[in-house]
Amino acid sequence: MASTLIIKDLHVEIEGKEILKGVNLELDSGKIHVIMGPNGTGKSTLAAAIMGHPKYEVTQGEVLLNGENVLEMEVDERAQAGLFLAMQYPSEITGVTNADFLRSAINSRREEGQEISLMKFIKELDKNMDFLEMDQDMAQRYLNEGFSGGEKKRNEILQLMMIKPEFGILDEIDSGLDIDALKVVSKGINKMRGEDFGCLIITHYQRLLNYIEPDFVHVMMQGRVVKSGGPELAHRLEAEGYDWIKQELGIEDETVGQEA
Amino acid sequence: MTTQTNFQVDQQAVEAFSKSNNEPGWLSSLRLDALAKAEDLPLPKPDKTKIAKWNFTQFTNHAVDSEVYSSLEELPERIKTLIDADTQKNLYIQRNNTPAYLTISEELKSQGVIFTDILTAAKEHPELVEKYFMTDAVKVDEHKLTALHAALVNGGAFLYVPKNVEVADPIQAVYIHDHPGATLFNHVLVVADDNSSVTYVESYLATDDIKESVVNIVSEVVAKQNARVVYGAVDNLAAGTTTYVNRRGIAGRDSRIDWALGMMNDGDTISETITKLIGDNSYGDTKMVVVGRGSQKQNFTTNITHWGKNSEGYILKHGVMKDAASSIFNGIGKIEHGATKANAEQESRVLMLSEKARGDANPILLIDEDDVTAGHAASVGRVDPMQLFYLMSRGISKHEAERLVIHGFLAPVVTKLPIEGVKRQLSEVIERKVQ
């Protein structure tokens, strides 16, 4: 079933400071969108605000998932409606095993009495962990506790593959990864690719796109999407950097808080 | 002539109680001597908790008679679930002050292991009990409550493991408080002789009809050379019960004492857990979880004192405070002069779930030796909103997310309890208390 995620004129503040100044974006399932841009332009804020991060306040605009405004929902309801956010810095939670957490997450999207069977869950977990080249003992370790940076990122992708949301928002899933880990993470994202899955990848490195071919590329500066295009836009950014966009738009300082 | 006392139980009553139990002379004398001392001795002074107005001494009955259980089938359901009936061969159940059920395997008996109620032990094994009962670990005249305890002891268990005997399966005790008029002066004495090892796990439970009452518990653990004792406990006494609980261990050369304690009382509680690392290379580990709710006030003092060279002491305490509950967590690592290469580590964490709850973690290191290592960590805080955001972003409800974080916070101790039934009990009590 085709789904849509529409971001309309989104304005977001943190501690009274406006970070997003009217973001507009439309995503369809089956497509991979990438948001690029230098540091401090509001990319991660966009991801966090869509999911409902407690520190960010939406002051204007809508985020419509299949026509419903998710901004009126609690964080867990947004997830149950089909959103997933792979976080840049996943929390560590002592005493809760990765496996127990994943089962709770999967079952939270199911009706009572329709919970995933333990056998089926274990089978799927084993399969996905193998695919992501993760040690089997990571299932029984406490959630993200003592995981290396790379292990945490793999674990986010494992959750993505287990939960199977309609839209995945991946916030700097590639930062801090060595080339092998980057390949594995990309492999996981490519595996998810399909008609029922839409994806918004936030990155400031072009290198991830050597492994994942995006359908659309957007550039954010000063809290807005300032340019959109196809994969060729990413290639040009790789070759020429961001300066040509700044020149084209008359931007001197691309970070939030600066005006064109 | 009978001396007048300020306690409901006077000299005459103590004499009569001792006589009705056919106690040996040393115990009768010890009781009477202690009663006289209890008059004058002051209450203990737990740091940062004022207990002058708490009731530790006023109660109606010294001891009550309760029905015994002729089989485990007769146990109330919630007690049955504590006991792994198919495998538990060494079990003592006490109902108020009455030894209500006892079983010990032939194998342990033949190895010379003694496990029985404390008053029977005083008669049948006087030489052992007299040697260790409030002589080394806890002294009668420390303060009013230790003296009163010695005078009025009316229940508890004695466990002795002879030299070179390693007891594989956990020994279990269950203390049930189901008589509204009962007062518990419970004494547990565990002696592990040289090169022996044993695991003892106890549960204190109360029924809902217990209102005003007094409980005074002293546990003494003596681990001789190269002995190993694991002591697990879940205390779950009623809201109307004022509890003084003193658990103390003495570790000899190369020995090790591990405490895993679930402090789940609903009433006001003063708890001391002290391990004395006397011998060289001795090792003490104290793990404790606490959940406070309602308006209860509690004080948990955990102390490991090092005399032995190369001795190691570890304290880990995690507490959750909700409603208007307040708790003081005093952690003391003490290294005496001469205890070279000793290591004292402690960690106290308190999680507050409401505005009115109070928690205070006080790590204290007292070190009188240069060549040592020591460390402490303490924190008092609320549930991390980022943790909740993370869990909820996967579809987990706020309530369930909080539940996971709290259980996870307490897990480091819960998972250490050596009997599945008791571990389950602790998890269930936590579930009930944090809801």
Quick: pLDDT tens for A224-252: 999 999 999 999 998 999 999 999 999 98
Q: pLDDT for A75-100, tens place per residue?
A: 999 999 999 999 999 999 999 999 99
Name residue B258's beta-bridge partners.
B230, B285
Nearest to A91 among B386, B397, B398 (CB): B386
| Chain A residue at shortest CA distance from B411 | A95
Distance between CA atoms of B265 and B206, rounded to whole angstroms?
Answer: 9
Predicted confidence (pLDDT) at residue A259 exceeds the cutoff of 70: no
Name the nearest CA neighbour of B203 among B64, B93, B42, B359: B93
ipTM of the complex: 0.96
What pLDDT digit, counting tens, does each position of A171-228 carry?
999 988 999 999 999 999 999 999 999 999 999 888 899 999 999 999 999 999 999 9
pLDDT at B208: 83
Chain B, nearest residue to A160 by Cα? B394
The pLDDT value given to residue B419: 83
Task: Identify all chain A residues contacting B402, using CB atoms and an 8 Å cutoff.
Answer: none
CATH of residue A25's domain is 3.40.50.300
What's the confidence (pLDDT) of residue B5? 53
- Parse chain B into domains and list their residue ranges: 11-382
Q: Is B394 in Cβ contact with A105 (below 8 Å)?
A: yes
Give residue B6's pLDDT.
Answer: 62
Give yes or no for B387 touching A (CB within 8 A).
Answer: yes
Residue A55 confidence (pLDDT) above 90 = yes
pLDDT (0 to 100) of residue B4: 46
pLDDT of residue B52: 93
Which domain covers residue A244, as residue numbers?
A: 4-90+148-249
What are the angstrom distances between the C-alpha of A233 and each of A153, A198, A209?
26, 20, 11
For the full predicted model, state whether its pTM sits above 0.90. no
Considering the domain boundaries, does residue A69 fall inside one?
Answer: yes
In a domain, A242, yes or no: yes
> Residue B8: its pLDDT value, please?
74
Nearest to A94 among B392, B397, B408 (CB): B408
Spans of chain B below 50 pLDDT:
1-4
pLDDT in tens, A114-161: 999 999 999 999 999 999 999 999 999 999 999 999 999 999 999 999
Contact status of B411 with chain A (Cβ, < 8 Å)? yes
Do residues B391 and A101 make contact, with C-beta atoms less than 8 angstroms apart?
A: yes
Residue A55 CB: number of other CB atoms within 10 A?
13
Question: B407: which chain A residues are within 8 Å (Cβ-Cβ)?
Answer: 95-96
Q: Which of B390, B407, B412 sits opposite A91 (nearest CB)?
A: B390
Chain B residues closer than 8 Å to A96 by CB: 404-405, 407-408, 411
Q: Which residues contact B107 (CB under 8 A, 6 or more apart)?
A: none
Long-range Cβ contact pairs of A179-186 (< 8 A, separation 24 or more): A181/A150, A181/A153, A181/A154, A182/A207, A182/A208, A182/A211, A183/A211, A184/A132, A184/A133, A184/A154, A185/A132, A185/A153, A185/A154, A185/A157, A186/A211, A186/A212
In a domain, A113, yes or no: no
pLDDT score recorded for residue B302: 98
Q: Do A93 and B412 touch (CB under 8 A)?
A: no
**Rounded Cα–Cα distance for residues B63 and B21 (Å):** 12
Task: Please name which of A61, A60, A53, A64 lies closest in space to residue A28, comparing C-alpha atoms.
Answer: A64
Quick one: three-class SS letters along chain A?
CCCEEEEEEEEEEECCEEEEEEEEEEEECCCEEEEECCCCCCHHHHHHHHHCCCCEEEEEEEEEECCEEHHHCCHHHHHHHCEEEECCCCCCEEEEEHHHHHHHHHHHCCCCCCCCCHHHHHHHHHHHHHHCCCCHHHHCCEECCCCCHHHHHHHHHHHHHHHCCCEEEEECCCCCCCHHHHHHHHHHHHHHCECCEEEEEECCCHHHHHCCCCCEEEEEECCEEEEEECHHHHHHHHHHCCHHHHHHHCCCCCCCCCCC
Work out how many domains chain A is built from and give that number: 1
Q: Are strands A216-221 and B155-161 parallel, antiparallel or unpaired?
A: unpaired
Tell me which chain A residue has its CA closest to the CA of residue B407: A95
pLDDT at position A1 is: 65
Q: Do A104 and B412 touch (CB under 8 A)?
A: no
Please tell me whether residue B55 adopts helix, strand or coil conformation. coil
Q: What distance in Å separates residue B268's CA from the closest CA in chain A?
A: 28
Q: Which of B269, B275, B235, B273 is nearest to B255 (CA)?
A: B275
Burial environment of residue A187 by CB neighbours within 10 A (0 to 12, 13 to 18, 19 or more): middle
